[in-house]
Amino acid sequence: MKAFLAFTLIWLLGFNVFAQEKRRHDISLGVGFQTSNEFLNTIGDIVSGLSFTNTSISPTYMLTYKTTIVNQKWFVYADVAYQSISEDIIDNGLKIGDVAHRYFTVGFGTDYHYVSKSWFQMYSGFSVAYSSQNADFSPSSGLEDQSDGFFNFHVNVAGFRFGRALAGFLVIGVGYKGVANLGVSYQF
């Protein structure tokens, strides 16, 4: 984990060295809906052979740091995302316990802003990520807690940013950030 954090820091600092004099930075907070984690959880439920009800899915909460590297149009970024899913476990029509899934994702990506006005931006991009998943089963279920990880992705099909320094954004895409994600960002 220390090596991963060191790599991340060097990676981010490296892009700052190559950024032009007029570089811009962007920090954003967002929430996403209909993520790849939800899809993979559904597949896992089907494969497990167990039945689940009362599924409760939180939005994905994201924190992103971007910096521009070419003409204030091409951004590179690092982000972290968190999502939780809880479900009741059913066996022979009776609830035998519950499970809480927690997904923590770290991603690195790039966006190209093909419209970059002072008050409006449109962009597309992609990121690759690693997701860590923990499944905590209640003792009554008789199942053991599980932890695993997997590579993940996100494709920003169309992103829109409205505002100047402080702005709102909406991104339509697919992956760990969701089919739709929105939030606020601050550029400086």
The pLDDT tens digits of the residues spanning 125-154 come to: 999 999 999 999 988 788 889 899 999 999
Predicted confidence (pLDDT) at residue 9 exceeds the cutoff of 80: no
Contact between 52 and 63 under an 8 Å Cβ cutoff? The reply is no
pLDDT reported for residue 118: 84
> Quick one: pLDDT at residue 13?
52
The phi, psi pair for 120, rounded to 5°, reads -145, 135
Cα separations (Å) of 150 from 9, 37, 67?
22, 10, 26
Note the pLDDT tens digit of each residue in 41-87.
Answer: 899 888 887 889 999 999 999 999 999 987 888 999 999 999 999 99
Task: Give the largest CA-CA distance in the chain.
Answer: 66
In the predicted model, what is the mean pLDDT of the chain? 88
pTM of the model: 0.83
Q: Is the pLDDT of residue 17 over 50?
A: no
Per 3-state DSSP, the chain is made up of helix, strand and coil in percentages (nearest 5) of 20, 65, 20
Are 172 and 160 contacting, i.e. CB atoms less than 8 angstroms apart? no
Positive or negative, the CA dihedral 19, 128, 124, 61 is negative
